[in-house]
Amino acid sequence: MLIKTPKNSSLKDSAVTDESVYHDRRNILKQMGFLGAGALLGSAVTSKASAGFFSDDKPSFSTKALTYSKDTKNVGLLKTPEQKVISHNNFYEFGAKKDQPIELSQGFKVDPWQLTISGECDKPITLDYDDLTTMLPLEERIYRMRCVEAWSMVIPWVGFSLADLLKKVAPNSRAKYVAFETLYDPEQMPGQASRRLGGGIKYPYVEGLRIDEAMNPLTLMSVGLYGKTLPPQNGAPIRLVVPWKYGFKSIKSIVAIKLLEHQPPTTWNKLAAREYGFYANVNPNHDHPRWSQASERRITSGGLFARNRIATLPFNGYGDEVADLYRGMNLSKYY
């Protein structure tokens, strides 16, 4: 049955996160019992474990302005302030605590970069750093982002449709899934070098989509946010954005895309299959084993307790665009 939900254009300015509250959201979630994927692994990092990574003289990563078409669909929406999104991140390769990625990633090098696209396709390609921002026209997409930890934000991404990229490699009839892989470079990514700092994950981080999900017009390959290239803590130089799925599905710093006949493994599903399914669709009717997903904390500009709890929408509010992909599926069994 087709699930009717409001269009993404229904998002209001009052849904924008207040910066001071945003920075304290981890403590808020802990107090409410929403510990999330990050807390699953007990990721507290001692000063000894992080020694050598926090440094006042660490080089600062530079972003550059991008040329792109503006999002006209959501032109009236007030976006989450940039500082919030770049300073509080889930990116375990640079540390399992929310404030570690921005601190530990500033020396990250993205040029040169190679992204290979291969597998069940007729025209495999390898893209370099410049290709990522020049091969296809760039556009702004203002999307909701719903974390599995039950908080949400609004982010203006810049990028291009994954479908347009995949069409260039001509997928064949055996291409049923698309697998993604993050860079593996423990020298640059300290979380990969330290089990404790990196939350106990087996790297490299991997993710996957069904081919029809990958080809959906909403699915974005992002190379920027707020009109500039991505900072490393947000997945530079290129990441996936799938707005109707929980945030952990949107893999960062991608170096390989492979078209496959069979469903690929995914990092959080391998680590805790009961808690993190392959599909990861935002579903208020299917609870995480340790907390409800029926509502989310929309951290707003009105203060800590202003409009601070809202109902979670099926498919994060994008049901009109994606619900048909799952017609007839039991979305609690295939979570």
CA–CA distances in Å: residue 265 to residues 68, 72, 207: 34, 37, 7
pTM here is 0.83
Domain residue spans in the chain?
A: 8-42+62-326
Task: Pick left, alpha or beta for residue 59 (phi over 0 → left; psi -120 to 50 → alpha; otherwise beta).
Answer: beta
Give the β-pairing of 125-128 and 254-260.
unpaired
CA distance 7 to 298: 17
CA distance 92 to 82: 21
CATH 3.40.50.300 for domain 8-42+62-326, yes or no, is no
Residues found in the chain:
335
- Exposure string for 144-161, b = 16+ CB within 10 A, e = fewer: bbbbbbbbbbbbbbbbbb
Which candidate, 166, 327, 192, 321, places its Cα nearest to that of 252? 192
What pLDDT tens digit does each residue of the chain (335 aa) get? 443 434 444 444 444 444 333 344 444 344 334 344 444 443 333 333 333 344 455 568 999 999 999 999 987 766 777 887 898 799 999 999 999 999 999 999 999 999 999 999 999 999 999 999 999 999 999 999 999 999 888 899 999 999 999 999 999 999 999 999 999 999 999 999 999 999 999 999 999 999 999 999 999 999 999 999 999 999 999 999 999 999 999 999 999 999 999 999 999 999 999 999 999 999 999 999 999 999 988 765 554 444 568 899 999 999 999 999 999 999 999 99
